[in-house]
Amino acid sequence: MNSITSELSAQSRILDKDQQFVWHPYSSLSAPIPAYEVVFAEGVNLHLADGSQLIDGMASWWCAIHGYNHPALNAAAKAQIDKFSHVMFGGITHAPAVDLCETLVNITPRGLDKVFLSDSGSVAVEVAIKMAFQYWISVGKPDKNKLLSLHNGYHGDTFAAMSVCDPVNGMHHMFDQVLAKHYFAPAPQIGVDELWDEDDIAEFSAIIAAKKDQLAAVILEPIVQGAGGMRFYSPEYLRRVRELCDEHDVLLIADEIATGFGRTGKLFACEWAGVAPDIMCLGKAITGGYMTLAATLCSAEVSRGICEGEAGCFMHGPTFMGNPLACAVANASLELLLSSDWEANIRRIEATLSTELLRFDGIEAVAQTRVLGGIGVIEMKVAVNLAEIQKQFVAEGIWVRPFGKLVYVMPPYIIKEEELSRLMQGIFNVLSTA
């Protein structure tokens, strides 16, 4: 057996075993969608076992903002692993976690003074919800135990997170009978640059006024509703939400897991409205895609209210909380981001996407295109066939992972003009024949 035949045989075995043993996210074991074996990644390129190379338009679900195999992040991981890769965070601390928490307090909106570390975005949301509930219990208002969320919102796949995702059009509607029941307001309709109309917040305003004695918090994704539809909305809506939360004594939770660390053109999407939430969730890009890590920040008022209550502490403690290896890489990733001209990079990506997407409006199957920062969205008139369209994208030498009617890109910030153009040309080639 020659080397080429041997390599092909090894690839076949991996893919066969993948289909036999591995359950991928949002996939069916009855009708599995083919997976593609990555053997190496560098810059914005994924190298497959069959020798092909793909430009990654997804930044590995929006987290690999610096691209792959970055020397600074590699060095941070290697340096930390030779010291210690993990210690429990109960009663023990270490420099990587302390430095990270200090940085997060310094760069996030003013007033977010305390940081609780966890290991995934969904858990960061669970922590935020739990913080809000425990705060009101601790200050003697246990009846404030409901949440107000938005239609078309998405906050994760764990149970408390699912309960504040869109209950009708979201991915979790089938769990309706087993999820906690909360309140939902219509999704914002006015776009980022459109003229404000107070009618857009009218129903939200009515709900929060009527339910204020039951509401612990409002939870939303600021400016960009991500996996619930890739929808962009007016900063004025977010400003009004902050005002209404203050007026009715309701906490505001900002889920910046997808939008944090520059993706929208601001370091955090809350900056578009100039507001600070009471609690903020971070994840995804925090380590540049190297390690799983998340953070929930809160105000001193929230932390004090929790800690001066009956329990005397926040009742949560993930085993891998504050993992030093992840924290070390996160510190290197944030240093890399903040020392770069990331704003210029995002403006460059936004300008290129705006130009490239103009021609998509001429495709019959396309309903709408939109761009904000490093996010480009092509909304189709009907849902795409994921298995089929994925094969076509791979044949074009690009990696794009659509869902429903949405074909979108959120590439690494380091993507070059020619790479972004090739990415968009590949998408155009596929969609123009759809």
> Which of the residues 114, 144, 266, 284 is marked catalytic?
284
Catalytic residue of the set 16, 17, 26, 78: 26
* DSSP notation for 328-385: HHHHHHHHHHHHTTHHHHHHHHHHHHHHHHGGGGGSTTEEEEEEETTEEEEEESS---
Find the radius of gyration of the CA atoms of the chain. 22
Q: Indicate if 212 belongs to the active site.
A: no
Cα within 13 Å of Cα(325), Cβ side: 17
Answer yes or no: 284 catalytic.
yes
Distance (Å, whole) CA 434 – CA 430? 7
The whole-angstrom separation of Cα 13 and Cα 264 is 41
Could you tell me which residues come within 8 angstroms of residue 89 by beta carbon, excluding any fewer than 6 positions away? Answer: 97, 117, 317, 321, 322
- Of 68, 61, 14, residue with least CA distance to 36: 14
Look at the chain and count its residues: 434
Give 102's DSSP letter: H
Q: Is 135 a catalytic residue?
A: no
Q: Residue 53: CB partners within 8 Å, gap ≥ 6?
A: 45, 46, 47, 397
Residue 221: burial class (beta carbons within 10 Å; 0-12, 13-18, 19+)? buried
Residue indicated by tokens 């008022």: 301
Indicate which residue of 135, 255, 405, 413 is catalytic. 255
The question of whether 26 is a catalytic residue gets the answer yes
Candidates 68, 154, 290, 413; catalytic one: 154
The two structure tokens encoding residue 157:
């796949």
Catalytic residues, by residue number, are 26, 154, 255, 284
